[in-house]
Amino acid sequence: MASEVTIQYAEKIADLTLNGTVKKGDMLAHNGTGWVQAAATDAATNLYAQYLAMAGGVSGNVIKGCKGCVLYDADAPYTTANATEYLSGTAGAITQVRPATNGDVVQKVGRSISTTEARIDILAPYEMEIFIPCPPYNTLSGGISEAHAPDGTTNEWAGADVDSAAVGAIFQGWFPSNMVGAPLAADLIVNTQASTALDIDVTFVRAYINDSNTGDAGSSLVGNTTTSETTADNEIQKVSVLTGMDADFVKAGAPFGVAVDADAGDFLLIGLYMRYLLV
């Protein structure tokens, strides 16, 4: 029979109302209703660890949870001393094996002290911003693309000079392995060259390493005209493409591509701005 864990030096303690059955020592996540066992698995990408259960309980119970402590387990489950502890794909558990299943969220929750003790330190989620500059797009295969150009009025701005029905840019990026949920923002950053309203088509693809490059295509955007304000000449504006990045498209630890093809408007495509929530 497995030994019950002992919790020492607990800190940052809170009262938590459960929405499922948990046991003492479980990693806990909030499922939108109450506190449940956390898990790194793809199907539960928002169930990242926020507390450690200081007692067991069932749905409706109020228990104590802590964000930091020393966890002692007489069964010596910590394979190696002084090793990183991750949230496991097994609900509520921790592991020294970095999650590697496609879509798993990689969350560090502490470090082992010995084979029987681990220091738990669950950090609050935080935001990270990424900017992907508009890359040059080579058309040696015979396609049509927009050439890069400076603004002309102020040459500090440059990008694909988009003013016709041709591929403006192809952006490629990586969804961080410790990302939870959908991106908080995904915006094309443009430098308008006229007051002409924009009309932009956007397509997507996301793949996994060692898997098909067709992966998931998200939700293509056709005739996207929404800018951060009314289109005017010589302004830096943003065009959201977030709605095209649906739940099947957005997966932690995976490369993605975004192709931009304008049907109307006159602008320099400067880059793609992404904002993520990380653990």
**pLDDT value at 149 more than 70:** no
What tokens were used for 214?
């067709």
Per-residue pLDDT tens over the stretch 68-101: 999 999 999 999 999 999 999 999 999 999 999 9
268 strand-pairing partners:
161, 191
pLDDT on residue 162 = 74
8 Å CB contact between 104 and 179? no
8 Å CB contact between 8 and 70? yes
Q: Are residues 106 and 137 in the same domain?
A: no
Share of the chain above pLDDT 70, in %: 89
Within a domain: 1 = no
Average pLDDT for residues 244-252, to the nearest whole number? 93
pLDDT on residue 142 = 46
- Residue 58 is part of which domain span? 6-121
Q: Are residues 132 and 114 in the same domain?
A: no
Among the three residues 85, 104, 121, which one is the final residue of a domain in this structure? 121
Burial 206-238 (b: 16+ CB within 10 A, else e): bbbeeeeeebbebeebeebeebeeebeeebebb
pTM score, whole prediction: 0.90
Closest CA to 276 of 231, 244, 242: 242
Q: Are residues 110 and 223 in the same domain?
A: no
- The count of structural domains within the chain is 2
Mean of the per-residue pLDDT values of the chain:
89
Among the three residues 59, 92, 121, which one is the final residue of a domain in this structure? 121
Per-residue pLDDT tens over the stretch 105-114: 999 999 999 9
